[in-house]
Structure 1
Amino acid sequence: MADGEGRNAETVSTSTTKSARRQRALGRNAQAQSGGWSAAIWSLAITTTVLLLVSVVITTLVSMTALGSSTHSQAGTQAGASAGRSSHYNKSGVLKAVPERGAAGACDSSSCAEQARLLLRQINSSRDPCDDFYAYVCEDWALTRPLPPGAERLSMDTILVDGYAELLAAELRENATGYPALRFLLSNCLHPQPTLYPTLCAMFLDTIRLKPWMARASALRHRRPTAPEVARKLAVAFRVLGVDALFRPFVFKSGLSAKRFVGLAEPSTVLMSGPLEKKEYEMVRRALAPLLAFFQNVTDTDLLQFEERLALMLSHPQVDAEALANGTTIKVRDLPVLPNFEWTSFLQSVFDKGLRPITDKTFVKLNSPDYIVRLTRSDLLQFTSQLLGYLVFRVMMVLAPLLDDHDVRDQLASVSYARHQEFPQALPQAHYCLLLLDRFEPNLPLHLSRHFAASLIGGESVVAEMVSTLRAVLLESVQVRLGLKSSELWEHLRDKLNAVSWEPLSPPALATTTVRAAYVDDVYPRNSQMPAAQLFYNWIRKSHEKKLMSHMTYARGRGKGDSGYPGWTGGFLSAESRLAPPYDRLEIPLPVFDLFLNADPALRPLQLARAAPKLYRSLLRAVYHWAYNFEHNVADDKETGGESVTRRLDELRLCLEQQYSAVAWSDRRMQLDASRTSWSDLWDYLALRPALDAFTLFARRVAPDYRLALLEHWDVGQLFFVYYAANHCENSNERFLRRMVALGPHSTAWFRVNGPLRNAREFTQAFGCKPGSFMNPVDQCALSE
């Protein structure tokens, strides 16, 4: 052994000894305070510290090939750059071919010129835009932005979300002073005490009534839990912590009535996004070895194997898990019998007193009946110890950001809070804390940072103007594009669209003092001096139960002073808008917009090339479901104004599915499973035309012939399509792409750009694509008349 290797080995050994000694001391302290789960969790932490250190070589090797590595800080640094940042000029001589600056209508300010230069550096003019428009706009973007080691994907969305997270973390540290409980939570999350995680885990597991022996098959001397007991444990875990180990319950509004009913969706997974091939499975197992070892002292369930068997039965990922256009409604008593599980106990324990009493005659909506059928045919639930061991694992993974040991925290929290399963990346602690807020209680942080967020995109008045423009364009587009004319269906859709509350940047109701005070009192403990574990327990439980119960009792848009106000159901660390059932609140987090386009008012139309498609996707998805419910519940052909709108949309979706399946995309080693992405592809297609209209309208308010200096050869339509594509640019590793094209629910960026544009006459006219060229195929998909 070389001297350097000997010194390294000695350092690791010394570090291991010190860390183990510290863990044993802390373990004795925890055991003195409480028994049961706290003692078990401390004992496994001691063992895992050693396992983490000795497995570092294996983990690093596999992480570089299969999973993510600790590179978030690098990505965060890159996030500070704007959309089109590049370090070299395009070598094709495009600049020489551009007309002189100062053409009528062109913005020639320094900001506009800089934006044009950045875009020119990105465009690959050696490509014909009619051959492959995504490559024309994004190929050089990806080449100049190599992936950090171990990262699965770098895109415009991830850059903006990570950049926003960096800014938001600093903003909250400064602006939480008026709310002691929030400040206390942030402080204790940023610097967690050694006893916080084991104590908090023990509190939640005790609430669920999960005893340590229940997670072990070897504990033969104990009575096994009954089916109703198992069902109640799964239900309480979801009610107080949002853990959906077997099902994800939800509340929905049926058809056109105001009544609310219960539904069941498929659960989420943590360790994998779907079934794995044998070699991939073994590679993932090696990468997750430290994590799996962490739980060996808690449960003898093979966690990776259990989740793989669960994943084999799932139909997800899906876009419309709660919309349920093709779901099944069934009475509780008619649900299939599952081993070691009882339906009524489960549903009663989830919804408690939030709805009318749930009995065996209660109707339940199933978004995936096939999943339940597969469960009945599987032996996954045969052994309660395996199921409850998996439940313990899921509970402890949710709370992983509060671990004090840096190495253990990175192993667990990076997996539990990964942007994409199977591709974890260790994050700074501040980002883990933001993810906790994002998961449980995003509303007060959003309110506190609203003015800061608005300033990044031009201020409140600019946001209001963009929203007003987008709303007006969508109303006209739905009527004209769907051919609704004066039908009762159009009146129904118009009323629904007008009733949607557009909520950019934060929940607007919290701006009202009484609503905000009632909300804060309901979620944040008044006594911020209580022990940290107790405060976190109260905050997490209250915030999640409030979110769940509010769907049953709170009428959105009414009762502004109601303490039951739920706030946003989604979070803020997303580049997508959210319009969840019953489709009456459009949540618009800041990364839906471009944070780097506020330097010049003349650049603001470019915001709509990014934001409009994202917002219209959510809204047109809701339009489909409103039309579906109307046509299937109360309407006949006369009332809808002619042929079924949803049937025409379904035909369009199937056309896109067939077209996308037949296309040989740039990476011919992979084939898109368009049957899994067709719903998302439909929303992309439908959102394109109104987004172009909104962009054009907003641009003409700046100049009748809106152009940018150095890009005068591009008119307003061409600018829109270029920026539309630029906001989809991404660089992904091969394994991530393989998983994405196989599982969905969204197509890759290449399809999301080229797919809609190949079927848009406005695009082919803008760039003069000849019939029969790739971007102007002879057979195109369109909404039938």
Structure 2
Amino acid sequence: MSTSTSLSNSTSNATVCSTPECTTLANAILADLDLNVDPCSDFYQYTCGGWLANATIPDDEVIIGSQKTALDINQEVMRSILEGTYDDLYKDLIGSDEGFHREDQKDADKKNFETMQKYYNVCMNTAEIDVLGPTPIYQDIAKFENVLFPVSNDVQVFSNQTVPLFTQALSRLNGLSIKALSNLFISADEKNPEVNIIYFDQVKTGLPSKEYYEVPETLAAYKSGLTDILTKTLGNYSNGTENATLRDTESQRYNFTRWSDEKIAASVDRFIDFEAKLANISMKAEELRDPTVTYNPVKLSDFQANNSYVDWTSLIESLLPSGEQVPDNNITIRATPYFERLNALLFSGNVTERTLQDYCIISFVTNVAFALDSSTQEAARNMKSAVSGGTKAAKPRWKTCTDAVSEGISNSMGRYFVLKRFGGEAEKKKVETFLTNIHETWIDHLNQIDWLDNQTRAKAVEKVKAIEHMVAYSTVSPDLRQPNSIKKYNEGIYINETSYYDTEYLLNTWNTKKQWAKAGKAVDRNEWLFSAQTVNAYYNPSTNQIVMLAGMLNDPMYNTTHPDYLNYGGIGMVVAHEIAHAFDSIGSKYDGKGLLTNWWTNVTAAQFQEKTKCFIDQYSKFTVAGPNNSTLNVNGALTLAENLADNGGGKLALTAYKRLNKQEQKLPGLENMSPEALYYVNLGRSWCTKLTDGANQLSIYIDTHSPANIRVNGILQNSPEFAATFNCPAGSPMNPETKCSMW
């Protein structure tokens, strides 16, 4: 199909930009497009077909795409920071470091950098890690077997007498942020969002979702993988004489008897059987998406009476700061049916103490395998690849260690990343102006929606006006501009420069303590849920805030030198999407103060529910390719909130762009495309993605977002504006007669 017939004609008299930068940008867009595809047939293929034809997934990845490219670029920037010197930090900044105080806080700045670099270096010291083999784990396994949860035989069933020892084992796991049997965490009380409380949720099992436990081939691969991991960590496996000698020495030192092949086989069987039972009693992912269902406050004493398989007071006491009293109130259960079924399962007489000991130990091993030798790491990677479409090869070590630092000491890295990649205060102000326009567009738009009655509309406008912007990087808790603020936040972090395993152990303990110190305290509205360098954005319903992270503000979604029609189709859609979350199937249940409450009239609420059914039905009909030539349907209920946000975001970002009422230059080679057409083109190419079939299956089961191609086409199939822009005939694939509409 020729360009002249497949692209929209522009009616503007704008000039064509002839700079080298515009030519490069236009060529990049044209390279992504497939002009042989009718945009009215499959717009995602039209915008990404060229890119897809040339994209190859590396063996150490399961997904590539626009977002992954941004992540890779960010990762390279962080690597250069970690492998450079302190003096290198402030060379070749992308913008000014004005406002990022340093000279008067240089000692703290150096300390923060040195701690971060020590962590990276101990992670990169693979020679020392491999010499030790799996021996660093022996002390912990011996403690589980001999002190925390000793078991005398394989047939003794779980009973009330087991509870104290089982609680000890679970306390150790939770102290390292390893979730076992249940997921305990601290978050804002949804009925009193100014205070943090304790939430109890169902546990995430070793396989990604309950569906995986229903596939015999997957269970066989899981069994084989776990057997390999345990053989290489707890068994008699050895890479050489030196390693074998060290294993013998360390086993004797900690009174740890290495597991025989028979013991490993029996333990793996018990573990998988028990996990399958946990998966069976778990609620489905879509059932946990309704906050009115998952908010169930209880007194701890009442919960204990009905869930006596753990001493909950003792467990929580081990997690709270020393001396703090365990609250009887301020406990909320997210998955009530799960806990009811779990109590029945454990006291059924069919669960042995040995099974629970195996469960604790294997949960521990699989969660710390990444910190052991390369043989153990490869066994863990192979297992993940076999059961859920993981990578075919290990990532380069520098990527693993860069990610570890970025996640483990996130604020230190965030400061330097912002200066090297984002641009600091001046750039932040530009983004805030961008956000303000989209925010104001939403306010105007709510006043024009005919299905909202006046009472609900007033509440909706009140809520959207109250939304706070948090842009690029944290400036309070901590203030990334202030080294002293970061140093104070990081207080208690210790890097053992001779042991990566011990360093990870200490960091996990530090992080757990940091999180549990918030229990019962006032919510810090200035604390970010993700670090500045993360390629993401989010809306928090309990604080009514949208957060745009510096790591996300990259090509092709955002570049201050690009025309606004591209930026609004990229990051503008994301901003409008995040605001739309305030009114999706989840966010709509919270008011402007973050309180979980019903602020809708009955008539309007009924119309909202009717509109959501259209989206559930629409998206449930979309399919993707799965493993072994299978076809998988999107879960329209699981992805509902994100689909509503996508549709609202795609619509409102274009409205916000038009609100600018400015004439911009055309791009060379794309002269016949209107600004609206290029808005949609950049919306599409911002989500160009290629996944393995295994990763596709995983996303269908656990991801609350629809697959990338469906995100794009789903938005545009519902858009009369898109159909008009590209002159799509009525009834064509991208202009169906039935359209879903919410915002």
Counterpart in the other structure of 1:547: 515
- Give the alignment of 1:33-432 within 5 angstroms: 93-94=2-3, 104-149=14-59, 151-174=61-84, 175=89, 177-179=110-112, 180-191=114-125, 193-194=128-129, 201=137, 211=146, 214=149, 218=153, 226-255=162-191, 258-276=194-212, 277-286=215-224, 289-297=227-235, 301-302=267-268, 303-315=271-283, 317=285, 323=291, 326-335=294-303, 337-338=306-307, 340-351=309-320, 357-359=326-328, 362=329, 364-378=331-345, 382-403=351-372, 405-412=373-380, 422-424=389-391, 426-432=394-400
Amino acid of the structure 1 residue aligned with 2:667: L
CA distance in 1, matches of 2:394, 2:633: 31
Amino acid of the structure 2 residue aligned with 1:737: N
Task: Work out whether residues 51 and 688 of structure 2, in 8 Å CA contact, stay in contact via their aligned partners in 1.
Answer: yes
Counterpart in the other structure of 1:77: none
Q: What percent of counterpart residues are identical?
A: 15
C-alpha deviation, 1:396, in angstroms: 3.7
Amino acid of the structure 2 residue aligned with 1:669: T
1:420-439 per-residue CA deviation (whole Å, 9 max, x = no partner) reads 95514522222222333344
Task: Work out whether residues 617 and 636 of structure 2, in 8 Å CA contact, stay in contact via their aligned partners in 1.
Answer: yes
C-alpha deviation, 1:134, in angstroms: 1.8
CA distance in 2, matches of 1:761, 1:230: 59
C-alpha deviation, 1:446, in angstroms: 0.7
Counterpart in the other structure of 1:689: 651
Task: Work out whether residues 236 and 350 of structure 1, in 8 Å CA contact, stay in contact via their aligned partners in 2.
Answer: no
Query: What SS is found at the alignment partner of 1:779?
Result: coil
1:56-109 per-residue CA deviation (whole Å, 9 max, x = no partner) reads xxxxxxxxxxxxxxxxxxxxxxxxxxxxxxxxxxxx553899899996244332
Counterpart in the other structure of 2:589: 628
Report whether the alignment pairs 1:511 with 2:470.
Answer: no
Query: What SS is found at the alignment partner of 1:782?
Result: coil
Between Structure 1 and Structure 2, how many residues are aligned? 673
CA distance in 1, matches of 2:683, 2:614: 23
CA distance in 1, matches of 2:587, 2:5: 52
1:343-397 per-residue CA deviation (whole Å, 9 max, x = no partner) reads 44444444467986333xx363332223224424545992343334333333344
CA distance in 1, matches of 2:617, 2:426: 42
C-alpha deviation, 1:681, in angstroms: 1.7
1:202-241 per-residue CA deviation (whole Å, 9 max, x = no partner) reads 67779x9674783777589999973144235324422443
Query: What SS is found at the alignment partner of 2:632?
Result: coil
Query: What SS is found at the alignment partner of 1:711?
Result: coil
CA distance in 1, matches of 2:465, 2:386: 31
CA distance in 2, matches of 1:411, 1:437: 23
Query: What SS is found at the alignment partner of 1:165?
Result: helix
Counterpart in the other structure of 1:569: 529
Amino acid of the structure 1 residue aligned with 2:228: P
C-alpha deviation, 1:777, in angstroms: 1.8
CA distance in 2, matches of 1:289, 1:120: 50
Query: What SS is found at the alignment partner of 1:553?
Result: coil
Amino acid of the structure 2 residue aligned with 1:252: A
Query: What SS is found at the alignment partner of 1:550?
Result: coil
Task: Work out whether residues 441 and 652 of structure 2, in 8 Å CA contact, stay in contact via their aligned partners in 1.
Answer: yes
After the TM superposition, which of the residue ranges 189-198 and 249-258 deviates more from structure 2? 189-198
RMSD: 4.4
Counterpart in the other structure of 2:92: none
Report whether the alignment pairs 1:443 with 2:411.
Answer: yes
Task: Work out whether residues 41 and 734 of structure 2, in 8 Å CA contact, stay in contact via their aligned partners in 1.
Answer: yes
After the TM superposition, which of the residue ranges 278-287 and 627-636 deviates more from structure 2? 627-636
Cα distance change on mapping 1:776 and 1:93 into 2, 3 Å? closer
Task: Work out whether residues 127 and 136 of structure 1, in 8 Å CA contact, stay in contact via their aligned partners in 2.
Answer: yes
Task: Work out whether residues 401 and 433 of structure 1, in 8 Å CA contact, stay in contact via their aligned partners in 2.
Answer: no
Amino acid of the structure 2 residue aligned with 1:547: Q
Task: Work out whether residues 190 and 542 of structure 2, in 8 Å CA contact, stay in contact via their aligned partners in 1.
Answer: no
CA distance in 2, matches of 1:199, 1:322: 45
Cα distance change on mapping 1:131 and 1:556 into 2, 3 Å? same
Cα distance change on mapping 1:751 and 1:714 into 2, 3 Å? same
Cα distance change on mapping 1:306 and 1:447 into 2, 3 Å? farther
CA distance in 2, matches of 1:539, 1:751: 39
C-alpha deviation, 1:289, in angstroms: 5.0
CA distance in 1, matches of 2:742, 2:374: 54
Amino acid of the structure 2 residue aligned with 1:109: T
1:680-714 per-residue CA deviation (whole Å, 9 max, x = no partner) reads 2222222222222334456x5xx525532221222
CA distance in 1, matches of 2:472, 2:395: 27
After the TM superposition, which of the residue ranges 393-402 and 374-383 deviates more from structure 2? 374-383
C-alpha deviation, 1:772, in angstroms: 2.0
Query: What SS is found at the alignment partner of 2:351?
Result: coil
Report whether the alignment pairs 1:715 with 2:674.
Answer: yes
CA distance in 2, matches of 1:441, 1:544: 14
Task: Work out whether residues 479 and 485 of structure 1, in 8 Å CA contact, stay in contact via their aligned partners in 2.
Answer: no
Cα distance change on mapping 1:517 and 1:150 into 2, 3 Å? closer
Provide structure 2 residue ranges, at least 5 long, that are not aligned to the other structure.
Answer: 90-108, 236-258
CA distance in 1, matches of 2:156, 2:279: 32
1:638-697 per-residue CA deviation (whole Å, 9 max, x = no partner) reads x75x55665544332221111223457799933333233223222222222222233445
Query: What SS is found at the alignment partner of 2:470?
Result: strand
Task: Work out whether residues 227 and 340 of structure 1, in 8 Å CA contact, stay in contact via their aligned partners in 2.
Answer: yes
Task: Work out whether residues 446 and 460 of structure 2, in 8 Å CA contact, stay in contact via their aligned partners in 1.
Answer: no
- Give the alignment of 1:577-616 within 5 angstroms: 577-580=537-540, 582-584=542-544, 586-595=546-555, 601-603=561-563, 605-616=565-576
CA distance in 1, matches of 2:708, 2:679: 17
- Give the alignment of 1:431-470 within 5 angstroms: 431-455=399-423, 459-470=427-438
Query: What SS is found at the alignment partner of 1:258?
Result: strand
C-alpha deviation, 1:524, in angstroms: 2.9
Normalised TM-score (structure 1)? 0.73
* 2:684 paired residue among 725, 749, 769: 725
Query: What SS is found at the alignment partner of 2:40?
Result: coil
Cα distance change on mapping 1:574 and 1:635 into 2, 3 Å? closer
Cα distance change on mapping 1:201 and 1:635 into 2, 3 Å? closer
Cα distance change on mapping 1:713 and 1:261 into 2, 3 Å? same
Task: Work out whether residues 771 and 778 of structure 1, in 8 Å CA contact, stay in contact via their aligned partners in 2.
Answer: yes
Q: Which has the higher contact order (CA 8 A, sep 6+)?
A: 2
* 1:652 paired residue among 611, 616, 621: 611
1:423-468 per-residue CA deviation (whole Å, 9 max, x = no partner) reads 1452222222233334443122112221112149994443343334
Cα distance change on mapping 1:777 and 1:281 into 2, 3 Å? same
1:604-624 per-residue CA deviation (whole Å, 9 max, x = no partner) reads 652332223334434432445
Query: What SS is found at the alignment partner of 2:211?
Result: coil
Provide structure 1 residue ranges, at least 5 long, that are not aligned to the other structure.
Answer: 1-91, 559-566
Amino acid of the structure 1 residue aligned with 2:22: C
Query: What SS is found at the alignment partner of 1:294?
Result: helix
C-alpha deviation, 1:753, in angstroms: 1.2
Amino acid of the structure 1 residue aligned with 2:333: L
C-alpha deviation, 1:313, in angstroms: 3.4
Task: Work out whether residues 472 and 548 of structure 2, in 8 Å CA contact, stay in contact via their aligned partners in 1.
Answer: yes
Amino acid of the structure 2 residue aligned with 1:290: D
Amino acid of the structure 2 residue aligned with 1:588: M
Cα distance change on mapping 1:547 and 1:500 into 2, 3 Å? farther
Amino acid of the structure 2 residue aligned with 1:709: P
CA distance in 2, matches of 1:278, 1:769: 46
CA distance in 1, matches of 2:442, 2:519: 27
